[in-house]
């Protein structure tokens, strides 16, 4: 695979190739220890692409070498109350194991940034596990850094509550 043969595209959720790629890559990510270590559920396999297509502000970026899916970034438009503008939250970043270290993450995140600018967004946000150092290095290379408003208050933490 050479960088010039890899296409980075905004996913068309109605395209069967794109839909299969999203499920394949999400399953690979889910099985990885950083993604929870379990296969994607049957419900997700059946409904994910349809639900992404119906979700306002959702978009995905795919990397392909021909018809081989190499990478995926799932994104959701949110809103920054401090900037009073939309933002894009990057929810999933996947580069298939055999394609890592070749700059695909950076190229896909650059595509996300272009799409976010096109949508009038003020920033990109994302979460990353504190021990996922390879991902942190990749994200820092393209300008991401921990969210800090005031050094005296520390960096923001990502929390959750299941419903």
3-127: CATH topology is: Aminopeptidase (3.40.630)
CA distance 7 to 158: 32
Q: 28-44: buried (b, 16+ CB within 10 Å) or exposed (e) per residue?
A: bbbeeeebeeeebeeee
Do 56 and 63 form a contact (C-beta atoms < 8 A)?
no
Residue 80's pLDDT is 97
Give the Cα separation of 108 and 72 in Å (integer): 8
Q: What pLDDT does residue 117 have?
A: 98
* DSSP bridge partners of 69: 64
Q: What is the pLDDT of residue 4?
A: 64
Residues comprising the chain, all counted? 163
Where b means 16+ CB within 10 Å and e means fewer, 129-141 reads eeeeeebbebbee
Terminal Cα-to-Cα distance of the chain (whole angstroms): 43
Note the pLDDT of residue 149. 86
- pLDDT, tens only, 120-129: 999 999 999 9
Point out the residues of the chain with pLDDT beneath 70.
Answer: 1-4
User: Following CA atoms 48, 53, 57, 63 in sequence, which dihedral angle do they give, to the nearest 10 degrees?
Assistant: 70
Burial of 2 (0-12, 13-18, 19+ CB in 10 A): exposed
CA distance 38 to 52: 21
**What residue ranges do the domains of the chain occupy?**
3-127
């Amino acid at each position: 695979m050479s960088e010039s043969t890899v296409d980075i595209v905004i996913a068309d959720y109605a395209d069967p190739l794109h839909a299969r790629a999203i499920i394949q890559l999400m399953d690979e990510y889910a099985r990885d220890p950083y993604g929870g270590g379990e296969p994607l559920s049957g419900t997700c396999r059946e409904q994910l692409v349809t639900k992404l297509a119906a979700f306002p502000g959702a978009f995905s970026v795919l990397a392909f070498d021909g018809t081989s899916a190499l990478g995926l970034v799932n994104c959701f438009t949110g809103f920054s109350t401090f900037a009073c503008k939309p933002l894009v939250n990057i929810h999933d970043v996947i580069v298939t194991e055999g394609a890592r270290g070749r700059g695909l993450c950076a190229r896909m995140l650059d595509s996300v940034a272009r799409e976010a600018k096109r949508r009038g967004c003020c920033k990109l946000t994302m979460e990353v596990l504190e021990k996922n150092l390879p991902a942190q290095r990749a994200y820092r290379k393209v300008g991401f850094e921990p969210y800090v408003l005031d050094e005296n208050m520390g960096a923001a933490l990502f929390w959750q509550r299941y419903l």
